[in-house]
Amino acid sequence: MSKKKYSVVICGGGSTYTPDMMELLCMLQKAFPLKKVVLYDIDEERQRIVGEFGKVMFKEYYEGLEYYYTTNKEDAFQDVDFAFVQIRAGGMDQRNNDEKIPYKYNTIGQETCGPGGLAYGVRSVIQMIQLVKDIRQYSQDAWIINYSNPAAIVAEATKRVFPNDKRLINICDMPTSVLDAYLPLIGLKRSDIQPVYFGLNHFGWFTRLIDRQTGYDHMPDLLKYVQDNYEQIHQQFKNKITGPDDHWGITFLNHLEMMRDFPYSLPNTYNLYYLYPNKSLEHYSINRTRYDEVIEGRETTVFQYCKQVAELGKMKGTKYDLSHRINLKDNATTDDIDSQTVYADNDVHAAYLVELVLSIINNKQDFGLVMVKNDGICKNLDNDMMLEVSCLVGANELMPLQVGEVPAFEKGLLENQYACEKLLVDAIFERNDLKLLQAFTENRIVRDADLAKKLIKDFKEANKDYWPNFK
């Protein structure tokens, strides 16, 4: 077990996911010992709310930790071992545009899939490349672990600009959430298995669930269990839905229905947008999208929680007390922490990131779902594709698990989506309007060039402070 103490910067310090991430860092301080935690954001106000909460928490629970929040790059990025990145280029106002503009044309509005994802992609690629350059200016060897969306497009772009940067990795928590939703049905948990997964980010499939002890593939058993007990599981998933705003509850019910239609693998929930566009479209409207639910839900809850703790000036001895959950054993993992957080709406987001870090610092070779260049992992797909696959994660490298040949149905879907994402990144780098039109038209959710032109026109207007000038 490593005794080194690490320095972490969280970029997107004002993100709704940051408080939860800081709590986890607190709880796992034996397993992942820290000397410094810094928050970095460009929005002082958001970051102050989250940052002040951190001050109270770390002061009470993390002896000797240096902690501050800043909007100054030099203060943020010097002496960093790990940069956790969760920025939203353009903020939530632009998420609102990404989701609402397509609804003007009766088209799915989503932050990562379809035209909204492409609009967000243009902003995110530009800001992420700058951020990585900034971090690298001060900390050459830091691990940069990026969650910022749309991760597939960000990964395609960062691959091109930083081709030899082995410590820059793009990740997503969705495949992990899918495992957490389904493995318990057959009495398993994530740490029991090594999954085989392939796809582009937010468009992929688990094909095998290999038992870490025995090598047995649990996938056929899971698929059979789902098939044999479909009605009962359906009811179980339905019962969990808390109301019409329970986006993830509803998503997982739709996901189960997708598994009945395609009963041979465990898909990503985001495949729903591409395979069931009508159902996905009907879920929201131009007046209400996921943006509204997040603003009223997670953002309100998390910021309220932060403000309440900051105002109280303490957590110990209050209802926010974390004492019973910290100071775990040296080799603790996230399995050792109960999943119930102080505030609602937590998911595997922070846990999954910290699991990756524990595997890196201890050279554990645990599996992680990470975006890497294909280079033969899926033999009949383009070698340059940034695939999301299962990798063994160690101190020096990520070793992808081989997938082999991809079936015709999945191959066709992925090649179409890759062409779209690749064209978008070409368009951004070359400021090329024609390629922008091709990217939008190529997209399975847009398809029609006239629609693509209307969407691009509106997105150019909405993004005039963020998009480059396409010619």
Which residues of the shown chain bind ligand G6P in the complex (CB under 6 A)? 112, 149, 172-174, 290, 294
- Reference 32, options 368, 339, 395, 329; nearest CA is 329
Tell me which of Mn ion, ligand NAD, ligand G6P, none is bound by residue 290, counting a contact when its beta carbon lies within the kind-specific cut-off of 5 to 8 angstroms: ligand G6P
The residue (of 76 and 378) whose beta carbon lies closer to ligand NAD is 76
* Pairing of the two strands 386-393 and 366-373: antiparallel
Residue 92's beta-bridge partner residues?
A: none
6, 103, 270, 320: which one is catalytic? 270
Active site residue 270: yes
Q: Coil, strand or helix: which one is 220?
A: helix
Q: Cβ 67 to ligand G6P, closest distance in Å?
A: 26
Binding test (CB under 6 A) with ligand NAD, winner from 2, 66, 74, 92: 92
Strand (E) positions, 88-214? 143-146, 168-171, 193-200, 203-211
Binding mask 108-127 for ligand NAD (x = CB under 6 A): -------------------x
Binding test (CB under 5 A) with Mn ion, winner from 28, 152, 174, 337: 174
Residue 370's beta-bridge partner residues?
A: 171, 389
Q: Cβ 441 to ligand NAD, closest distance in Å?
A: 25
Tell me which of Mn ion, ligand G6P, ligand NAD, none is bound by residue 108, counting a contact when its beta carbon lies within the kind-specific cut-off of 5 to 8 angstroms: none
The strand order across the sheet containing 203-211 reads 193-200, 203-211, 266-267
Distance, C-alpha 135 to centroid of its chain: 20
Burial 456-466 (b: 16+ CB within 10 A, else e): bebbbebbeeb
173, 197, 273, 466: which one is catalytic? 173
Q: Are 444 and 417 in contact (CB under 8 A)?
A: yes
Residues 6+ apart with CB under 8 A from 31: 328, 329, 330, 331, 332, 333, 358
Active site residue 79: no
> Residue 197 has what DSSP assignment?
E
The residue (of 15 and 438) whose beta carbon lies closer to ligand G6P is 15
- Residue of this chain nearest to ligand G6P (CB atom): 174
CA–CA separation, 391 and 399 (whole Å): 5
- Reference 38, options 3, 5, 84; nearest CA is 84
What is the four-CA torsion angle of 30, 33, 36, 42, rounded to 10 degrees? -80
Binding mask 330-349 for ligand NAD (x = CB under 6 A): -------------------x
Binding test (CB under 6 A) with ligand NAD, winner from 22, 76, 89, 437: 89
Q: Are 124 and 323 in contact (CB under 8 A)?
A: no
The residue (of 14 and 33) whose beta carbon lies closer to ligand NAD is 14
The residue (of 172 and 406) whose beta carbon lies closer to ligand G6P is 172
| Residues of this chain, 130-189, that bind ligand NAD according to CB under 6 A | 131, 147-149, 151, 172-174
Binding test (CB under 6 A) with ligand NAD, winner from 5, 30, 35, 43: 43
Residue 436 makes contact with ligand NAD by CB under 6 A: no
Number of residues that bind ligand NAD (CB under 6 A): 26
Q: Cβ 380 to Mn ion, closest distance in Å?
A: 25
Q: Cβ 375 to ligand NAD, closest distance in Å?
A: 22
Query: Interface with Mn ion by CB under 5 A: which residues?
Result: 172, 174
What positions carry a catalytic annotation? 173, 270
Residue numbers at the binding site for ligand NAD (CB under 6 A): 11-12, 14-17, 41-43, 46, 86-89, 91-92, 127, 131, 147-149, 151, 172-174, 349
